[in-house]
Structure 1
């Protein structure tokens, strides 16, 4: 099996994407689902981002819509790794950068070291 260096992080919205972009230090695609995914939208993401052949990480909010999306993506992308945020923060976008950096680094995603202090 080939190991891919390219990573894809799936998030719910644009504010989540912006928060993650602040802390990562490697080239990874951050894909916004904008909520739940229909079959056509998912198939489009699968093809456009070659999700079956890349390292995929799912990082969604710890609320009901985020949990439903996580379950849906788990079924469609069983190889994906999950990155969880504390329910204390509930949303990726409101999670402090140092907490995000620690979670991302724990999944072998390179982060800017200033956020790990």
Structure 2
């Protein structure tokens, strides 16, 4: 599988793992202290080939995603759920620990943020599905993030991501029906 866009990752171990999974070029941020020369390199890459941000599913990874997407408009985003990025022996979390198959899956489900997005999903929708303000909210948000490939979020972030990634009300409804049905079957 060849990826046209350049993938932004945190470090050399991520690059090595991604290259095992797909044919792609990467730019490494070298951790969460993303400096301006790296941001300029990412901006140039975006103008030439496009960029996919694919950072670890943890706080530093989300921080890098935010910094890069603020500096470089129109990036695409790939997400890997935390449970698929855990190291087997230690407590490490990162893209470098994911399986080749999981990396391919994440990179085949890329989203592009749009600046002219309209809010089609509301806070009331999240409340109705028990995604905020209920005893199962956190678990349901995690399941929804995994299934829609939008990452782990809190309630406020979830509403923003659903709308920015243009998830339709129908997609949300169908996915939540599946999640709720599986909860009933447990």
User: Could you state the TM-score of these two structures normalised by the residue count of structure 2?
Assistant: 0.48
- Within 5 Å, give how 1:70-85 maps onto structure 2: 70-85=65-80
Q: 1:6 to 1:98 in 2, by over 3 A?
A: closer
Indicate if the aligned counterparts of 2:69 and 2:75 stay in contact, CA closer than 8 A.
yes
Higher-Rg structure is: 2
Hey, what does 2:139 align to over in structure 1? none
Structure with greater helix share of residues: 2
Indicate if the aligned counterparts of 2:27 and 2:42 stay in contact, CA closer than 8 A.
no
Confirm whether residue 30 of structure 1 aligns to residue 30 of structure 2: no
Q: 1:46 to 1:95 in 2, by over 3 A?
A: closer
C-alpha displacement at 1:38, in angstroms? Answer: 1.8
Structure with greater strand share of residues: 1
Q: What is the distance in 2 between the residues matched to 1:14 and 1:40?
A: 17
Structure 2 counterpart SS, 1:93: helix
C-alpha displacement at 1:91, in angstroms? Answer: 1.0
Q: 1:94 to 1:73 in 2, by over 3 A?
A: same
Confirm whether residue 95 of structure 1 aligns to residue 98 of structure 2: yes
Deviations for 1:56-113, whole angstroms, at most 9, x for unmatched residues? 1000001121111000011012211110010112410011111111111234xxxxxx
Hey, what does 1:14 align to over in structure 2? 12
Give the number of equivalent residue pairs. Answer: 99
Q: 1:46 to 1:59 in 2, by over 3 A?
A: closer
User: CA RMSD, aligned part only?
Assistant: 1.9
Gaps of 5+ in 2: 86-92, 111-186
C-alpha displacement at 1:23, in angstroms? Answer: 1.0
Q: 1:39 to 1:95 in 2, by over 3 A?
A: same
